[in-house]
Amino acid sequence: MKYRSVFDVIGPVMVGPSSSHTAGAAKIGRLARSIFGKEPKRVVLSLYGSFADTYKGHATDVALIAGLLGYDTDDPRLPQAAKYAAEAGVEIIIRTEEAIPEHPNTVRITMQSGSEEIDLVGISIGGGKVELRELNGFQLGLSGESPAILIINHDRYGVIARVTYILSENHVNIGNMKVSRKEKGKMALMVIETDEMIGGEVIDTIRKLEGVDRVLSMED
């Protein structure tokens, strides 16, 4: 990865101790909450690699929880995030996994609220930078640097065209777009990064399209 400034190396303004294990973890949590669209009621944090080995000393666990509560990396409440989560009625389960991940700083976040559930995999790549790699088994590759919408849809003719038409009609410029599917004719995922936030009315219009199952949005 190319770094554009010294702050990409030393990390953002933050509650320490580590830009990768603390600030990066908090950002992964914030992005996960943004995609889920609400504060979850139950969260399972599965830690892999270095995250699993050092999470207590580097406050990775409380940073992830802080992000899930919507706290930023420099929020003074971060060290006490587990307490605030308990007070808010959010059940947090932390697991350390022995499987060897592709990246050493990896976390799988499973969030539930009522019947809603999503499963995300994120990595912290240093300097507070992160990447969301997976959503419900679909490949993502999102850095969180740009607004994005994630559309879970039926893999059928015309759905992609109708979504991009709606964005064009509302003067939304697409910066990057990725389409993936697990099996032909089954469920698929559109990941669309945009130059500006997409208004709620536009998202509601996309949700009503035939073939669209769910629309999630992401902003940091």
pLDDT tens digits for 152-186?
A: 999 999 999 999 999 999 999 999 999 998 889 99
Neighbouring residues of 57: CB distance < 8 A, sequence distance ≥ 6: 17
Q: How far apart are CA 11 and CA 6, in angstroms?
A: 8
Task: Give me the pLDDT at residue 127, please.
Answer: 80
Q: How far apart are CA 44 and CA 110, in angstroms?
A: 5
∠ CA 1-13-174, nearest 5°, is 50
Q: Under CATH, which number does the domain 6-142 receive?
A: 3.30.1330.90
Is there a contact between 11 and 127 (Cβ–Cβ < 8 Å)? Answer: yes
Task: Give me the pLDDT at residue 122, please.
Answer: 96
Task: Give me the pLDDT at residue 219, please.
Answer: 82
Q: pLDDT 10s per residue in the chain (220 long)?
A: 444 544 444 444 444 445 677 899 999 999 999 999 999 999 999 999 999 999 988 899 999 999 999 998 889 999 999 999 999 999 999 999 999 898 999 999 999 999 999 999 999 998 888 999 999 999 988 988 899 999 999 999 999 999 999 999 999 999 999 999 888 999 999 999 999 999 999 999 999 999 999 999 998 6
- Looking at residue 21, the DSSP 8-state letter turns out to be I
Question: What are the structure tokens assigned to 24, written together?
Answer: 């990066």
Domain layout of the chain by residue ranges: 6-142, 148-218
Pick the CATH number of 148-218 from 3.30.70.260, 3.60.15.10, 2.60.120.260, 3.90.1490.10: 3.30.70.260
